[in-house]
Chain A
Amino acid sequence: MSADKEIKFSDDAYALVQKIIKRYPEGKQKSALIPVLHIAQAEFSGWLSAPVMDYVASLLSIASIEVYEVASFYTMFNLKPVGKCVIEVCRTGPCWLMGAEDLVKYLEKKLNIKDGETTADGMFTLKTAECLASCGTAPMMQIGETYHESLTLNKVDQILDDCRATVTEPISHWSKKEI
């Protein structure tokens, strides 16, 4: 995100934030922080910069530090820029039993990046994740909101091709629906 671009939610996102705040009692608007950070991440290129977090703090009338400490605790929040498609591969025991380690190695080779890195064209970021409650359909990975399950290498190839062909804007966990 360029520094000069004004940091402001779209009207839809702003309206949703106001709606979410109303779910919590008067004066407990801080409770909306995590949902609002998901929205912020989706609104601002898939990651949370310090100015974006400051903006969220102002929306919720809390101190910036309260936002930073939360954003840095939860693994779904990216504190540095990421690719358009963030691929999260589950690597915990049950998925490992079904070949998750090979899946990660395959993706590293194919995308020519390591865990945590982004491809030079800014298309993919590879992240390893811990159990995503999909152990019965292992190995699996998540891209945005979508769970890709019972993976084979062919399926992975197909998914990557689909991403390249269709994704133009960064996709986030929050797909701009009601939340």
Chain B
Amino acid sequence: MGRKLLTENINVPGIQSLSVYRHQGGYETLKKAVGMTSEAIVEEVKKSGLRGRGGAGFPTGLKWSFLAKPEGVPRHLVCNADESEPGTFKDRYMMERIPHLLIEGMIIGSFALGANSSYIYIRGEMMYVLHILQRAIDEAYEAGFLGKNILGSGFDFDLYVHCGAGAYICGEETALIESLEGKRGNPRIKPPFPAIKGLWERPTVVNNVESIMAVVPIIKMGGDEYAKIGIGKSTGTKLISACGHINKPGVYEIEMGIPVEEFIYSDEYCGGIRNGKELKAVVAGGSSVPVLPKSLILNLANGEPRLMSYESLSEGGFATGTMLGSGGFILMDEDTSIVKNLWTFTRFYHHESCGQCSPCREGTGWMEKLLHKILDGHGTLSDVDLLWEIQSKIEGKTICPLGDAAAWPVASAIRHFRHEFEEYVTNPQNIKKDHHYYRVNNISPEFA
């Protein structure tokens, strides 16, 4: 069993409540933190090697040290709880079950950054989770962990929740800030970075739910101890949300560095592919990262086992590797149509493009149409080439990374599964005849 730092108490009955959370040692780390200087806290986070868990993997301590601190200008920590990357459901799971861990992390983080008011931006669809958080916040105010002069430290701090209203793009940090200002979620051109000019033009740090939660064990155990867990520059534990055709979908806290094969097949984690089927492909870090066939997800190109870490998953670049991303593991069995799965992703990006950049706005729609044409049995070989061409012209040419996120799944599907696209365009009659291509059900097909 790997060490559990975030989910250790997740199954303790009543852990949602302040009393049980405290009984398990909750808010003791906050007490420790307010006895430290803010610089010392940032230093511990730096030493821990924690990398942002929202997808980009940027070192959290470094990000915190970039925060501008002009005299007399308030600063903010904003928690990114927009979680909408397909395949990712760890943040919702954590906030729902152990809300005080996020609140404790927000207080410690805000104390370290010198922010006297901070916000948790949660996607609007998760309104019931917002209520859970609000109840926990109310309890924390009552207990004196929030409000004026927290634990006699002289630090005043208010914490607010704020809801979105359905837009994947608001997970991108500058779009999130726009949304929090009451606007459409259009990403901003960087620079200026939020650390200089963020929310209401004030210096702002945006961090993922899991990153903020991880600060609690880091301060508790010390950055050096935390850094001993994991492998190389992938320190600590990581929450992986696993879904698709596996026996045990769910959220797992792993020590970074375990073999991918162990994660997929051991009973401690995914428990293997359901119905005794073969694994076909895996999307390892949420829909935006490249899809890999079984052979390349289990092993590097040189045959060595691939590990669950930032470095190992990206080993081989996009030719033979992928990314850890948000930790959303999507597993597909041998019957899955890669083309059709890709179409749902591309439709998603088209739907979610904010429309500011033409390569993203037009390219995603065009790719969606081409994939639909191919699935409909009217595709040609030149359509496959055209798909490749379009994705290559989106990547790197847009304001925010949503454009890249739309391009990579298309590129990787063609790179590793070109034969499937070719089969669809050369033998379209098989697409509809062969059920596998169209559906994988766990519900009776008689109504479909």
Contact = CB atoms under 8 A, between A and B. Distances in A.
B441 A131 contact: no
A93 interface: yes
Contacts of A37: 165
Interface of A: 23, 25, 28, 30-35, 37-38, 60, 62, 66, 69-70, 73-77, 88, 91-94, 96-99, 101-103, 105-106, 109, 129-139, 142, 145-147, 151-153, 173-175, 177-179
A94 B86 contact: yes
B84 interface: yes
A139 B74 CA distance: 44
Contacts of B443: 99, 102-103, 106, 139, 151-153
A33 B241 contact: no
Contacts of B361: none
A130 B368 CA distance: 15
A133 B124 contact: no
Given A30-B181, A129-B125, A130-B86, 13 more contacts: A23-B162, A31-B162, A69-B184, A76-B125, A94-B86, A130-B348, A133-B84, A138-B243, A139-B443, A146-B128, A152-B442, A173-B127, A178-B135
A96 B337 CA distance: 11
Contacts of A99: 439-443
Interface residues of B, number: 66
A96 B125 contact: no
10 contacts: A30-B182, A31-B181, A38-B127, A96-B344, A97-B341, A99-B441, A136-B250, A146-B128, A179-B127, A179-B163
Among A76, A102, A133, residue most surrounded by chain B Cβ atoms (within 10 Å): A133
B128 A98 contact: no
Contacts of A66: 182-183
Contact of A73 (B185, B250, B330): B185
A94 B243 contact: yes
B127 A174 contact: yes
B84 A38 contact: no
Contact of A31 (B85, B86, B182): B182
A116 to B, nearest CB: 13
Nearest to B287: A93
Contacts of A137: 249
B68 to A, nearest CB: 18
Contacts of A33: 182
Nearest to A41: B165
A66 to B, nearest CB: 8
Interface string B234-259: 00000001111100011100000000
Given A34-B163, A142-B125, A92 B182 contact: no
Contacts of A152: 442-443
Nearest to B445: A102
Most buried by A among B83, B162, B340: B162
Nearest to A96: B344
Given A92-B287, A178-B134, A135 B163 contact: no
Closest 8 CB pairs of A and B: A74-B165, A33-B182, A75-B166, A76-B166, A30-B182, A136-B249, A135-B243, A131-B86
Interface stretch (B46-54, B87-95, B216-224, B393-401): B87-95
A88 B126 CA distance: 13
B352 interface: yes
Nearest to A90: B86
B299 interface: no
A162 B91 CA distance: 30
B291 to A, nearest CB: 10
Contacts of B160: 23
Contacts of B283: 93
B164 interface: yes
A120 B179 CA distance: 35
Nearest to B346: A93
B167 A74 contact: yes
A179 B122 CA distance: 11
Contacts of B242: 136
Contacts of A173: 124-125, 127
A136 B124 contact: no
